[in-house]
Amino acid sequence: MPLVAAPESEGGVVNRIAATVNGRPITASEVRARIGPYFRELMMLYPKQGPRFNSELVKAKKEVLNDLIDRELVLSEFENRGYVMKEDQVAQEISRRILIQFNGDRDLFLENLRRSGMTLSDYQDSVRKEVTVAAMRAGRYERGIPPTPDEIRAEYNETKSEYRDLMKDSIEFDKIFIPAIDPEDEFSTPDAQYRKAESLRKQLDAGEISFAEAARRHSRDIHAEDGGRWPELKRTDLAVEFAHVVFAAEPGKVVGPLLDQAGFTLVKVRARHLAPAPPLSDPEVKQKVDDACRRKQSEKRYREWVERLRNKAVIRTFI
């Protein structure tokens, strides 16, 4: 089985129809754009792909498509109400997504769009629909009893990390890099190098060799002689997919082999330094927490309403 998926054609991606909802199309490029960051992370976590990779990807595609179908159902129901979304709200949501999904890297965001076959204009239209649906939902289902101060405090304590400035995060880790082709071994192959990385991971887990010694013997990066110890780095200094993986990793636990364009990486996080969450006294934060509480209160009624719309709709899926 190949370690890397076949590259996409430079000639562009055919934008097929993924589904229709009462005749309204959902394009395959919308699905690809939504799933792109997750797909790249899965490729890093599961270099040889295989059953776990495939099952996670199928699950993600199903969730994305269902979300898009729900979006079209709600838009179809409310399209005659003349609701207009302000463009600055759309721009704010796109900026938020670039920050969370791409570490604020707009060029990487645009490259992801290109690979998905979606234009920036198409993406803006897609986000406009989603923001509109959120506003429509709030108008219909989130006017109930205001949350109590205790409910707001509990919600804030549970979700406050979501309001942090991710760009201020930093991390310390040790790293072993095994190149896909060993320049000192003319017979090396990516499969053999991956097996080498897997073998090292097992030795590390079993305590048969220290991380520092394994790095000095086998790593091929600039900090190998230092036992693989890298200096503290900001989140923005790391590749997006790598950042997502290492910031989610348990400190002290070896993660990998992770795939990148050049080879395979084993990494052990020493410490994470996360930016503090803004205080609940911040009016903007308090409003977001209040909105989240109301969404939770209305979730059951909203899902029941969407299910009724599904039962009345003509939905066809093609992927």
At residue 139 the predicted structure's pLDDT band, cuts being 50, 70 and 90, is low
By C-alpha distance, which of 23, 28, 233, 30 is closest to 123? 30
Higher pLDDT, 84 or 185: 185
Q: Which pLDDT does position 167 carry in this prediction?
A: 85
Sheet holding 233-234, edge to edge: 233-234, 170-179, 263-273, 254-259
Calculate mean pLDDT across residues 28-45.
83
pLDDT of 142 > 70? The answer is no
Higher pLDDT, 109 or 7: 109
- Number of neighbours of residue 194 by Cβ within 10 angstroms: 19
Q: Does the domain made of 17-139+308-317 have the CATH classification 1.10.3470?
A: no
Name the most confidently modeled range: 37-46, 72-81, 133-142. 37-46
Q: Which pLDDT does position 267 carry in this prediction?
A: 95
Any idea of the CA torsion for 113, 114, 118, 119, to the nearest 10 degrees? 100
Q: Dump pLDDT digits (tens) for 199-231.
A: 999 999 999 999 999 999 999 989 999 999 999
Where exactly are the structural domains of the chain? 17-139+308-317, 166-273
What is the Rg, in whole angstroms, of the alpha carbon atoms belonging to the chain? 23
In the predicted model, what is the mean pLDDT of the chain? 84
C-beta separation of 146 from 261 below 8 A: no
Question: Distance between CA atoms of 200 and 180, rounded to whole angstroms?
Answer: 15
pLDDT of 78 > 60? The answer is yes
The CATH code for residues 166-273 is: 3.10.50.40
Q: Which pLDDT does position 209 carry in this prediction?
A: 93
pTM above 0.75, yes or no: no
What phi and psi values does residue 147 have, to the nearest 5 degrees?
A: -65, 150
By C-alpha distance, which of 126, 102, 122 is closest to 112? 102
pLDDT of 237 > 60? The answer is yes
pLDDT of 103 > 80? The answer is no
* Token pair belonging to 93: 């949501």
Q: What is the largest CA-CA distance in the chain?
A: 70
Higher pLDDT, 123 or 77: 123
C-beta separation of 194 from 1 below 8 A: no
Higher pLDDT, 74 or 158: 158
Q: Dump pLDDT digits (tens) for 165-195.
A: 888 899 999 999 999 888 777 777 888 899 9
Buried b (16+ CB within 10 A) or exposed e, 85-98: beeeebeebbeeeb
Q: Which pLDDT does position 141 carry in this prediction?
A: 62
Q: Which pLDDT does position 131 carry in this prediction?
A: 82
